[in-house]
Amino acid sequence: MTGLQGNQFEAMEGDCMVLLDAEVGPEAGKQATHAVNNNKNSKHGWKLIGALLAVTLLSAAAVLFTGHAKEQDHAEKSEDLRHTLRQLSGNLRAAIHLEGEHNPNLKTSVEWKEGVDQFHSQGGLKLDHNEIVIPQDGLYFVYSQASFRVSCQSDADATATPMVHLSHSVQRWSKSYGNEDSKTYETILHSLRTACQRTVSNETEGEGNWFSTVYMGAVFNLRRNDRLKTVMEEGLLDMLEDEPGKTFFGVFAL
């Protein structure tokens, strides 16, 4: 039994050796190598996919960050623009410009009109009862112009009033004068000029007319609620030229 078992064991051992040799033959080795390579390729593919996903995520994050930064920059620029516009609107200099025309119901002044021709008003300067009201203390440039069409002909004795004079004034009322209840005005601008010399003539109407302009302007230190008005002789109002741009009255802050 012992010998038999020994022979069987050797036979079995030989079979195992044959089987093992067969399994590790050339084809089996190639299959094993291919399997290993496939496994390596598979791992390499997953690593490549992972790397691509990482790059994609980073790119998307960069795009989102850039878009957010641009939106934030645009918002900041818009806010800066709004702030600048608020500053500009808050720093508008007070100004008013009025056009004048003859009103037969007014005997001592041109009638000053809003909303016509080159009229503008800003910064609190306003027209009230044909007078300009000053909004706050400060330096202001006050100006006015009156244009006339003067007839130098006379059917009467021309020596009685040989010269034709034109005049125009701006007057101021202020609490700083010391009597708030008083309506006393003081002249701050006055212009007087000679337009022509009268002559006796038989020329038809319209001939012998002279066109003349009186302009004046100066800087004044005015107070809040001061009032400015113009004064003109009644006889000159009929000669007034009130076409656009010929007769005006205005004030602007310095």
Q: What is the pLDDT of residues 180-226, one digit of tens each?
A: 667 789 999 999 888 777 676 655 555 567 788 999 999 999 999 99
Whether residues 75 and 123 fall in one domain:
no
Residue 85 has pLDDT above 60, yes or no: no
Whether residues 65 and 123 fall in one domain:
no
pLDDT of residue 125: 96
Question: What would the mean pLDDT of 104-120 be, rounded to a whole number?
Answer: 92
Of the residues 87, 111, 141, which one is the last residue of a structural domain?
Answer: 87
Whether residues 126 and 69 fall in one domain:
no
Convert 182-242 into a string of H (helix), E (strand) and C (coil): CCCCEEEEEEEEEEEECEECCCCCCCCEEEEEEEEEEEEEECCCCEEEEECCHHHHCCEEC
Structural domain total, the chain: 2
Whether residues 80 and 103 fall in one domain:
no
Structural domain boundaries, residue 63: 2-87
pLDDT of residue 210: 78
Name the most confidently modeled range: 25-29, 212-216, 233-237, 247-251: 247-251
Closest-CA residue to 54 (of 62, 65, 44): 62
Question: What would the mean pLDDT of 144-157 be, rounded to a whole number?
Answer: 80
pLDDT of residue 10: 45
Residue 72 has pLDDT above 60, yes or no: yes
Whether residues 78 and 101 fall in one domain:
no
